[in-house]
Structure formats: structure tokens, C-alpha cells
Structure 1
Amino acid sequence: MQRNAVTRYPILLVHGLFGFERIGHFELFHDVKEALKTAENRVFVPHLSATHNNEMRGEQLLAQIDRVLRGTGASKVNLIGHSQGALTARYAAALAPHAVASVTSVSGPNHGSELADFLRKALVPGQLPELVAHNIATLFGDFLSLLSGSVNLPQNALAALNALTTEGVGAFNDKFSQGLPSTWGGDGPGKVNGVHYYSWSGVLPANGLPSLDPIQGVHRALSQYFMTEGQQNDGFVGRFSSHLGQVIRSDYPLDHLSTLRRPANGLPSQLDPISLYVEHAARLKAANL
């Protein structure tokens, strides 16, 4: 039992696009949550729209932070956001710094996603392809919400896509710049308005061999749409685009979804992604968070 990883404040695991807490017996953050609970942490997974912009999801998160604080008696929470969940967490921390002890971005598109840029350009505004894609993705978000029991949450896939483009995140960053680095590829301020900022992420393993994990194959196919960070991305987010606050590391040999799970092929890996969360809990504890 890792008592040195027990944080002072509860941890909220914030999912990203098309994420959810639980569908049936399947939990998106299951391995992460169980590892943190084994270390005796208080861990919660908020219900958020599977598809929507950062501000809408951020408002939903703020309401659930308040419920966690009232339910636990804690004065603050630690937010760990995966992918778009990082932007959601940043919004909540910017509006309620008194209630947030730390924000940790895991594979977060803190400067936008080149993949989102490509998809946005491929969809002609107002014409049939955009409308069809928007309707299908929104219906899929509704379906996820229905399965996960979050039927009252709004869904808007086009708003989510726009919020993840370089332009969309740029506009978001103009309003909520806390923790952002001043130079491309650098670290950002580690503490702003009393909130500590951290980030980590991965890049596709450069082994040159076909992966036995079919999900990694999808990530490799998507990585071809990156130009600025063509050789330094996880299939969804560029390495330097993920930087926020104290950058723990941004080149772990992990694709975008592997920062949430252990290898799907059951084969041993040199790096256990789940251990990164427990190590981070120890880091938060050391900072009295």
C-alpha cells in the first residue's frame, strides 16, 4: 500500500471527448481509479457531456466540484483531465481557483489539435457533409450518455470539434491562459492564483514495427494528418501542444488512449501508464495537495 501517495484533497478524473464514467460494467478510468484508491485516495469521476465545448463542460464540472466539496468536507480538489478534460479542468480552475488545488493535463490539447484542424477543414461549413457528421457524432454522444445514465446532459459534436482546433483553443487560451508556457515547447508557470499546474503526455512509439495493438494502428493512421508536429504526436495531440505548467514529461512512448489504460494486447510493457497516476499522487502529496 502506497501511503506516500495519499493526497490532501480529493482527486477528480475528468474525461475528454466521447468520454464517460461508466457504461454497464465498463469504466473509462477503471484502472486509474482503482490504483489511486488502492493508495487510499478519494477519487471521483464527474458526469460531463461526451460532446460539447470547453465552457459548457467546464460549467458542469464546477457544479460537481461543489457537490464533492460538500460531500467530503474538503476545501479544494485536485483535477486530472485527460484530453479535452484538461481544457475542462483549466476552465473550472480559472473561474474557481479557491476550490481547485491543482490541474493536471494528461495528453491535453492545450494549444489545439492538428487532427481537429484537419477534420474541421474537411467539413464544409453549412453543407451536407458537415451536417451529417455533426448529427452522427451528436447522436453517438447522446447514445453514450444514455448508456452511462447521463441522459440530461446536452451534446453538440460540432461545438466540441470547433473547441479543439488550433483556432478554437487559441480563443479559449486568450481568456484562460493560466499555466500556459510563454515559449513553444517550454514549461508554463507552475502556480497561478494558488492553483498548481502540471502536464504529461506521450508520442507514438518509434519502433518501426507493426503494433499488435489495433488501437495503436488507428493512432498511427491518424498521425499522418499532423504537419507541425508530424513526428512528435500521440495520434490525437502534438507533443508540445500538450505542455502546461510543470511539464513532467511529454514523450512517454504512449499513444493518446494508452495514457488511460494498460496495453490492450495483454503483452507486458516497459512502461505502466497507470503507475504514472500513482506517482503523480505522490507528487501532489509532496506539494501538500
Structure 2
Amino acid sequence: MNSKIKVGLFGLILGVTSTTGFAKAGLQEVTSNFVISDYAKTKYPIVFNHGMFGFSRLGVSTFGLDYFYQVLPDLARNGAKVFASQVSPLESTEVRGEQLLQQVDEVLALTGSKKVNLIGHSHGGPTIRYIEIVAPEKVASLTAVAGTMKGSKVADDIINNNGANALLKIVGEYIVAPLTTILEGNPGLPNSLDRSLASISEKGSAEFNAKHPTAAIPTDCGNGEKITSNGVYHYSWTGTAQLTNVLDVVDVAISQLAPLSYKNKDNDGLVNRCNTHLGQVIRDNYNQTHLDEVNQILGLKALFAPDPVSLYRQQANRLKLDGL
């Protein structure tokens, strides 16, 4: 597959090969010269949004790592018009949301479309919901993948543990997050661990949802409304695994946090299963960890677990069949 990435209108090109370009604004469009089907060809373009400590791409296409590993090129080969957004690795939902809103506007300008389909992983779930809150007319659908729709107790516990909070601030806010923004070509992005943790905590999420209520988020562990009064469609899925591949040492390490916080394994290692529900719950017990859900790291997963790339392809087809 010979894929290429087109930069946005307002971006400053930082590096270009025959297949890749990066924009200061962070928006990337992934296309393919070899479209094999229209299975994923949705009416509206699809915009992906990464989670906490996330990125669009580290490096370049010839030697780099996409957050949604192999997902966007596969969708492009199957007819979808797809974009990867780039927001702060560590920031509040509101700050990340405003960054994403600028890129949604750019997608609309580039494509001439009136709306977008938004897909967000982890903190990307509340981040894409922010767009629905401030500009519902620009949103056709929201899909939350392990979204922290009701937060993660892991964040509450870190906030309440001075030692863990201080250590994560040093490693996360002052080393990992700035290095991430440099590697993805956008070092000017702001980062705040405190605002990030507050946003994805159960306490902060409850406050956000009380301020911006939606029938798409259920009060129990069931389904929310698929189509809300503003006409926006809502979907979600998540996993409930903590160990799927012993070679995936990073994933194994971080996927032990939620079991410690919740004292159970009804989670994907970082987010409680019920807290991820938004609209139509496609499935909430995949044999996937929090990183498996975006096909990280480098596609390592359980031997007989579902292919994460195929799940996104199926979701694009679901959006297509729903007229989105």
C-alpha cells in the first residue's frame, strides 16, 4: 500500500517524503493510492483523537509510530476519508477540545463536508464529546473506545497520593509529554498533568457530565441513547483484559493500575468497563487491554483476540450503514 498524508491548510510543513507530511496544526489526512473497497466509505469524514500521553504519530511514515497503529491506512484502503488529530498529551478536556475543534474546522474546510464522525480513545472520549457540546452541528457521530466517559479511579488515586502524583509529574509532565510533542513535530503544545488527571478522574468526570448532561451516557451500566435530541449518533466499545501478551511489557505494566484501584478486573487495566459506556455499546468485554484497543504496542495482542484494526473497519461500515 502506498499511502500518503496530506497536511492541513493552515499547517507549516515540517518534514515531507514521498508518503508523509506534518503540519504545525497537527492534522493529518491518510489516503491510499490503492482503494480496494468502499466498505468503510462513510458519508462524512472520520477524525481520530488520541488519549492521555497520546500522539498522532511519532516520527515519519518510513520510521515512525502511529497512535492508532495501522488503523487509518486500513480505513483509507477501504474507502474512508480519515484524519488523525493532534492535541496535548496532558491537558484538560476543555483545552484538548478547543485544540480538536480547530482541526475539525480544518477538516470541514478541506473536504467541504458539513459534519465529521469523531472517534476517541481513552481521554479522547470526553474530548470528542466536547465538540458535540460546543458545536453539535459539526458532529455526525461520536465513537468512544475505552473512553473515560465517567472517569477512571486510577486518576483519583494518583491525585490523592502525593508521592505518586509528584513522580508522575516529573516523569510525565516534564519528560514524556514534552518529548512526545517534539517527536510528533509540535513542541508548542501545552501540558498539565494536574488538569489532565482532574479531567479523567471519576470526580472530575462527574462534574463535567453534570455541567454538560447527555442522554448518551447511561446512569447505570447499560446503553445510553444512541441518537440524542441534537441528532448526533453515539457508540462505544472497550476491553476487559490486563494481560494479553507477555512480550508487551509496557502494556502489561500499566494495565495493572485499574485492578489495584478498583480491586477487581472488570476493566481494561485503566478504565472500568461501565465507565466507558456511551450510546450504543457495541461490546464491553473484548479480550483487549487499554493499549490493545488502539493496536499498541506494534500490534501485540492475545493470540485469539479480535484484530483491533478490523474493529475500526467494522465501525466505519456501521457508520456507513447508519447514513453517516
Normalising by structure 2, we get a TM-score of 0.81
Of 140, 143, 153 in structure 1, the residue corresponding to residue 189 of structure 2 is 153
Letter in 1 for 2:284: S
| Distance in 2 (alpha carbons) for counterparts of 1:121 and 1:91 | 26
1:166 corresponding residue in structure 2:
202
Structure 1: gaps (5+ residues): none
Deviates more, 1:214-223 or 1:195-204: 214-223
1:281 corresponding residue in structure 2:
316
1:221 is displaced (CA, Å) by 2.5
1:200 corresponding residue in structure 2:
237
1:135 is displaced (CA, Å) by 4.2
1:237 corresponding residue in structure 2:
271
Higher helix share: 1
| Distance in 2 (alpha carbons) for counterparts of 1:103 and 1:65 | 13
Q: Number of matched residues?
A: 282
Contact 1:162/1:168 (CA < 8 Å) preserved in 2?
yes
Higher relative contact order (CA 8 A, sep 6+): 1
1:41 is displaced (CA, Å) by 0.7
SS of equivalent to 1:251 = strand
1:218 is displaced (CA, Å) by 1.6
| Distance in 2 (alpha carbons) for counterparts of 1:67 and 1:212 | 39
2:262 corresponding residue in structure 1:
227
1:100 is displaced (CA, Å) by 0.6
1:120 is displaced (CA, Å) by 1.2
Letter in 2 for 1:13: F
| Distance in 2 (alpha carbons) for counterparts of 1:95 and 1:270 | 37
How many percent identity over aligned positions?
36
Letter in 2 for 1:87: P
1:217 is displaced (CA, Å) by 2.4
1:138 corresponding residue in structure 2:
173
1:141 is displaced (CA, Å) by 1.3
1:234 is displaced (CA, Å) by 0.4
2:135 corresponding residue in structure 1:
96
Structure 2: gaps (5+ residues): 1-35
Question: How much is the aligned-residue C-alpha RMSD, in angstroms?
Answer: 2.1
The answer as to 2:45 corresponding to 1:6 is no
Letter in 2 for 1:172: F
1:227 is displaced (CA, Å) by 2.2
| Distance in 1 (alpha carbons) for counterparts of 2:269 and 2:302 | 21
| Distance in 1 (alpha carbons) for counterparts of 2:202 and 2:51 | 17
Deviates more, 1:29-38 or 1:277-286: 29-38
Q: In the superposition, relative to structure 1, how do residues 58 and 272 fare at CA in structure 2: closer, same or farther (>3 Å)?
A: same
SS of equivalent to 2:113 = coil
Q: In the superposition, relative to structure 1, how do residues 100 and 266 fare at CA in structure 2: closer, same or farther (>3 Å)?
A: closer
| Distance in 2 (alpha carbons) for counterparts of 1:69 and 1:237 | 32
2:71 corresponding residue in structure 1:
32
Contact 1:141/1:157 (CA < 8 Å) preserved in 2?
no
